[in-house]
Amino acid sequence: MSLPAIIRSEIDPAAIAKVTRLFNNTLGDVLAELLQNARRAGATVVDLEVHTIGDDVWLSVNDDGAGIADPAVILALGRSGWNDDIAKREDPAGMGVFSLAGRDVEVQSCANDEGAGWIVRVAADAWEARSPVAVALLNRSRGTTIRFQLDMRWKESLDAAAKSAALYCPLPVRLRGISLHQEDWLAGAEVVVEEAGVRIGLFNDLRATRFSPCVNFHGVIVATALPSVGEKRRNWWARVDIVDAPDLQLVLPARKEMVENAALDALRDRVRCVIYRHIQSLGTHRLAHEQWREAAALGIALPEAEPLLRPWSPATADPHNCSAASGERIASEDHIIVDSFEPAFEQCAAFALGKHGGYEGRLAEPDDTMAGYSWYNCLPHIAVLRFEIERDGATAILDPGEFPGLDSGTV
């Protein structure tokens, strides 16, 4: 068998026959794709209109954007037809209309102000059969209308899908002539920073998980791993609103997750910097020493964490059914850290130290996250507990290395 001298990447025409399986066939995803195209076309509003023709229900998606000059692009998988500026800034995939593959679809558009437009109708079976589709001239206003049939499932989900697709979309959307509710993706943030083509909003609560929905990609909400920074009683996490960041991309065709690339790594570093700069602006913090060093490595100088530790309370043999230690931390320059011991020794220590009275308000639990700060490293520790037990004129020694065989009784 002879081998070719060179090979090139190409798309097998047979792949077109599988196009109906590229998308997950939900109305919400279809509307998200079409709204993206309308936004790129510079539309000022998108109207969703429902039409009943006989027993069939159709949805029209109308925009007043730049329109489509060449009708061939709507059936050219991967060819977007956008101008060089849009192609460079957003890297569109050319898959918008293909989200409707396998359905009866009508597309009409006009790319000029003279009303010279066109219309095509693609039958459901023409997508995979690659059948020729006729193009007819049409007199209409500038913009694009995409109309497709709603089956029972899509008809029932229309209102919810439209509301979801419009909620964080950057342009107004109307359904049956009524404007749909829209919100700022970063509403409620303590601070919003815009830089490098993104808006970063910081939140202080415990809602975020590693893969919470956190990125608004022009109305498409996706989850990705963004940094969060937890302090004592403060938890900083971020949401990101994409404005103009062409190197931040979505995995195609599903558009459910971010492409893991250098731009996303840079965004994560930017989020860390925004968090630490905000903490810096607050003046004080309770960051772990490791986080403090991370901020320093990013060029953000922070003071040392406040010298606060949790008051010490003796351990019990039944930790699940005992009163938890006070959540209030004590501020003192003369903390004494009580290292961890067995409950029997800690209970004895609490009794003895309480009678002594000289350490009241100074005893604190160890906190390894503070190790490294100068104030923590210089604190004294109670590192050994040793007791002399006197009974009936005799003295026995009790320490972790020696446990006398005493009968139970009053000490």
Q: What is the pLDDT along the chain (411 residues), one digit of tens a residue?
A: 677 676 665 656 556 556 556 666 689 988 988 998 898 889 999 999 999 988 899 999 999 999 988 888 887 765 554 455 554 555 454 456 777 888 889 999 999 888 889 999 988 888 777 778 899 999 999 999 999 999 999 999 999 999 999 999 999 999 999 999 999 999 999 999 999 999 999 999 877 665 678 999 888 899 899 999 999 889 999 999 999 898 898 887 777 888 999 999 999 999 999 999 999 999 999 999 999 999 999 999 999 999 999 999 898 877 665 544 545 677 767 889 999 888 878 888 888 888 877 787 889 999 999 999 999 999 999 998 888 878 788 888 877 666 666 666 555
Q: Which region, left, alpha or beta, applies to residue 133 given φ > 0 means left and ψ of -120 to 50 means alpha?
A: beta
Q: What is the pLDDT of residue 411?
A: 53
**Residue 167: exposed, middle, or buried by beta-carbon count in 10 A (0-12, 13-18, 19+)?**
middle
Residues of 345-366 as b/e, b for ≥16 C-beta within 10 angstroms? bbebbbeebeeeeeeeebbbbb
What pLDDT sits at residue 23? 64
Measured CA distances, 254 to 58, 75, 128, 321 (Å): 24, 18, 19, 49
Nearest CA among 146, 187, 136, 130 for reference residue 46: 146
pLDDT of residue 250: 83
Rounded Cα distance between 402 and 249, Å, is 65
**Which tokens hold the place of 12?**
């097998």
Q: What is the model's pLDDT at position 405?
A: 65
Task: Give Rg (Cα) of the chain.
Answer: 33
Contact 111, 118 (CB under 8 A): no
- Which residues are registered as beta bridge partners of 235? 230
pLDDT at 288: 96
